[in-house]
Amino acid sequence: MTKRDFLKTSAALGAAGVMGVPAFGFNPPAVENFNKMDVFTNANGEYVLPPLPYAYNALEPYIDEQTMKLHHDIHHNGYVKGLNHATQMVKEAIEKDDLGLIKHWERELAFNGSGHFLHTVFWNNMSPVQGKRSTTLEAQLGKDFGSFDGFVKLFKAASKSVEGSGWGILGYQPHADKLVVLSAEKHQNQSQWVTYPLLVLDVWEHAYYLKYQNKRGDYVDAFFNVINWNDVSKRLEDLKKAYL
């Protein structure tokens, strides 16, 4: 697939899918085998809950089994159900030529779509085996943040400072060939649309409260013991191949 074909496909997905999050979690089809575990839809085009790529208890002691079960099976699945419902309601509104509630359903698309796409990236960003940062990722972190340690300090600070519910995000802006750290509060609202997430950290309370209670900082620190750097590296490398 050429870069032009990739951009056409990207635009089509943004128009037909979730209007609020065209960049979050999107699989660039220009590169074969791009993160096969990032499954968003089935053969019928319905959004699906992807299975965890490891056991529920695989990330202990940093993230506990009960939290993983509730987070994946209940919270993430709720976003999938909400996204499918909102998609169906928009389809029916178009067919009936009755768009009186379209503002509501567009909000539902953005909220549930953001939750679904970001969680799918989140599960694959973690592993009981951390792997290694590729030379490409290491060099990019150094260029944009001065050093890996500089990135870590910024990412942790951004994640810990989210007000209420949200995410810490390391994203890549292919048009600028630049990494950025985002502090996304209410995931459907705050973002930079040209940015593709490489590494995301859920800091909604449901992600950590059973184990860490109100100590979000401890949870953010613990997250760095389960990051799958192979996955993060591949995301960056595949985006560079697709764009540069």
135-243 is classed in which CATH architecture?
A: 3-Layer(bab) Sandwich (3.55)
pLDDT given for residue 120 in this prediction: 94
3-state secondary structure labels for all residues of the chain: CCHHHHHHHHHHHHHHCCCCCCCCCCCCCCCCCCCCCCCCECCCCCECCCCCCCCCCCCCCCCCHHHHHHHHHHHHHHHHHHHHHHHHHHHHHHHHCCCCCHHHHHHHHHHHHHHHHHHHHHHHCECCCCCCCCHHHHHHHHHHHCCHHHHHHHHHHHHHCCCCCEEEEEEEECCCCEEEEEEEECCCCCCCCCCEEEEEEECCHHHCHHHHCCCHHHHHHHHCCCECHHHHHHHHHHHHHHHC
Where do the domains of the chain lie? Answer: 3-124, 135-243
Q: Model-level pTM?
A: 0.84
pLDDT given for residue 147 in this prediction: 98
pLDDT of 141-175, one tens digit each? 999 999 999 999 999 999 999 988 899 999 999 99
pLDDT given for residue 42 in this prediction: 86
Q: Domain spanning 3-124: which CATH class is it, in words?
A: mainly alpha
How much is the average pLDDT of 169-198? 85
pLDDT of 12-59, one tens digit each? 333 333 333 334 333 433 334 445 546 778 888 899 999 999 999 999
